[in-house]
Amino acid sequence: MDPHSAAFSLPPLLSTPLPDLATLQAAAHVVALPLNTRFRGVTHREAMLFHGPSGWSEFAPFLEYQPAEAAQWLAAAINHGWGAQPAIYRDAVPVNASVPAVDPADVRAVLQRFPGCTTVKLKVAERGQTLRDDVARVRAVHADFARRDLPPPLLRLDANGGWDVHTALAAARELAPYHLDYLEQPCATVAELAELRAQLQAAGLAVRVAADESIRKASDPLAVARANAADLLVVKAAPLGGAARALQLVAAAGLPAVVSSALDTSVGIAAGVQLAAALPPHLFGGACGLGTAALLQADVTREPLLPVAGQLPVVAAQPDAALLREYAVDPARRRWWFDRLAACYEVLAAA
């Protein structure tokens, strides 16, 4: 499909009939899992899990997301738990290590949770930190690989739109010698991404630009491709409404894609791995950001989807009943999640 065609639109949110709300409520479990490292300002990851006829699925939009946006996550959970799954091209997916915006002294402990990963994604442009802090974290990653007599890792920097073009270019100049692969959503707007990409090329810096928020939060997800503002896409199954919609978006853009997680439980990670496995070879962008179950202190399954030799298998995660009980939220929090489910359900029913 031509990304320059103004006629492109994503398919409907649901590829399977919408179950009754009572059916979803009866199939739901709500958990709060402790994190190893504070992430997005929280120390626990809350999620609602469903056991549908096609297997387990996850509804876990970040807490600040309002129903219109969070409904896409519910659609993904319904499509995965009640619908058919896409055909796959590979039975395992390489993943990158994920390093939050931690102190450089804590980098080594984080990397130990990602055995065999030779690509490292680092959070940068954290509020309250500076480029100097980001550089120090990158150097700590390199030092840890050197200490283990490993080749330098391939680095990806995720700024979540936190830099302007000038700062992003300065970061690329300073960190290019550290085997820098790409900058993920370095700037907030498509116009800024296009300007940065042009400046990187003019400066002779072989650093790619990846689009994340400019895809999944955009009313026109192909604007990035039309503006030649990115070299590749970062896609997540849940925010895009599930694997089928994500695959169609990637195909329409014609750019390689890296599949990432949203700090999911192993149930959500399994859906992301399936999406990554379903990307055609010419659109598969390499190591994916799906090793993030390593950032959880606990999970809903006795066999968490953790990287082994830098890879994750394509499997269906099976939650453990005792773990679902152990990490269940309190009654007040459960009501909050059920109210949220009902609000998002209304959005899907209206669509």
Contact 134, 171 (CB under 8 A): yes
Contact 216, 238 (CB under 8 A): no
Tell me: is residue 346 an annotated ligand-binding position: no
CA distance 239 to 247: 13
Active site residue 121: no
Which listed residue (45, 123, 156, 340) is catalytic? 123
Q: Which long-range contacts (CB under 8 A, 24 or more apart) does 115-118 make?
A: 115/307, 115/308, 115/309, 115/310, 116/307, 116/308, 116/309, 116/310, 116/311, 117/153, 117/287, 117/291, 117/307, 117/310, 118/150, 118/151, 118/153, 118/154, 118/287, 118/310
Amino acid sitting at position 76: A
CA distance 208 to 206: 7
Contact 49, 283 (CB under 8 A): no
Tell me: is residue 231 an annotated ligand-binding position: no
Amino acid sitting at position 122: L
Closest of 259, 192, 203 to residue 232, by C-alpha: 259
Tell me: is residue 212 an annotated ligand-binding position: yes
Amino acid sitting at position 291: G
Going by their DSSP bridges, the two strands 180-184 and 208-211 should be labelled as parallel
Which listed residue (45, 236, 245, 340) is catalytic? 236
* Tally of residues, the chain: 351
338 C-beta neighbours (distance < 10 Å), count:
16
Sign of CA dihedral 260, 16, 250, 273: positive
Helix (H, G, I), strand (E, B) or coil at 348: helix
| Helix/strand number for the chain, H first, E second | 12, 12
Angle formed by the axes of helices 266-278 and 243-253, to 10°?
Answer: 40
Question: 108 — phi, psi (to 5°)?
Answer: -60, -45
| Positions at the binding site for Mg(2+) | 158, 184, 212
Active site residues: 123, 236
| Positions at the binding site | 158, 184, 212
